[in-house]
Structure 1
């Protein structure tokens, strides 16, 4: 019986290791395939009922992919870079947090700017039929900045518009409103009730409740 218990323990450890590797690969594939416009493979990162909740688009995965394709075709430039990663795994469910930066280039008041926003991807994930996929992705926006691509350019922002959005992504939101998007104004940041509610929702997901 002792040998069987040890073997069972090793099997569980191996499964968790495989799950963690698959989760990290999923997160990395999401960023690479989305930014490369590899829409067919990008779609495989999601479960059919998956949802994306970004500043500029809150929609089921299929609609988010379609919106991303349309933005890509219009020349909207949004890129992602990933950093440190942590995952809480509970059986066939997980919450993954991955440090990231969002880099977007576009025109603001006639000046081409780069906005860089630092935060985390907070992902509700599930393994179904042996495949991990995204059920919900909710970014957490921690801080951002805006810089003219031409350092000699002069840029004056509308203070009232900038103040409409949380500090974690107000420059990103400013740019996105300038190119025609309706930006959600209550996304979670580093601290505050929105991110605390997200953490609580993640804990419920790991406990078996719906996302």
Structure 2
């Protein structure tokens, strides 16, 4: 049985996306580095920078007990020669103290990945999560939790509770990340189309 190159590329990309989540959450930093190209970039609520910097700060947080886990759902992949855009349904789950109460926050969204095949190997050039909906719950359901409404209202609806907990444990959170709808996600889609059409950088919608 023979398989088309298109199918083999899709399998390789899905494998890469799944390895990203498993190796990052397990703290397998050596293998986690292999999913990125050397110029890879990560954009998240609490971090924006190179893949190497992201691995370093993720490792430091992991060793300090920062609990961030990722769960994956379905994936849609657009292929154009040596480039691809992969969108993968996901949830981000983080545990930490909020106003003195141990809490879990769960954010549902998509990983929007700019990928390229170089020397026969697919790798992430840019990962940009899309944050669609989140919620915050005390680990102990009988606990009494009161949030600061002024702080909560500073963040977009799609990730305001995730931003809240991340702010309370000391991170500076970016306030204009893409959500389910709006100009930020429309701009991201535009950059995705430009990437497939040959744009020089995934961070800009022009060649």
User: TM class, shorter-chain normalised?
Assistant: over 0.9
Aligned with 1:142 (options 132, 135, 141) = 132
- Counterparts of 1:1-211 in structure 2, within 5 Å, are 14-209=4-199, 210-211=201-202
Per-residue CA deviation, residues 122-163 of structure 1 (Å, 9 max, x unaligned), is 000000001000000000000000000000000000001001
Instruction: Tell me the equivalent position of 1:3.
Output: none
Q: Give the corresponding residue for 2:205.
A: none
Task: Return the structure number with greater helix share.
Answer: 1
Task: Please tell me the root mean square deviation across aligned C-alpha atoms, in Å.
Answer: 0.8
Q: Secondary structure at the match of 1:21?
A: helix
Q: Show CA shifts across 1:19-60 (max 9, x none).
A: 000000000000000000000000000000000000000010
CA drift of 1:65 comes to 0.1
Unaligned runs of 5+ in 2: 203-207
In structure 1, runs of 5+ residues without a counterpart are 1-10
Moved over 4 A (4+): none
Counterparts of 2:154 and 2:49 in 1: how far apart (Å)?
22
The TM-score, its normalising length taken from structure 2, stands at: 0.96
Number of equivalences: 200
Q: Which has the larger radius of gyration?
A: 1
Q: Partners in 1 of 2:47 and 2:82 — Cα distance? A: 28
CA distance in 2, matches of 1:55, 1:137: 12
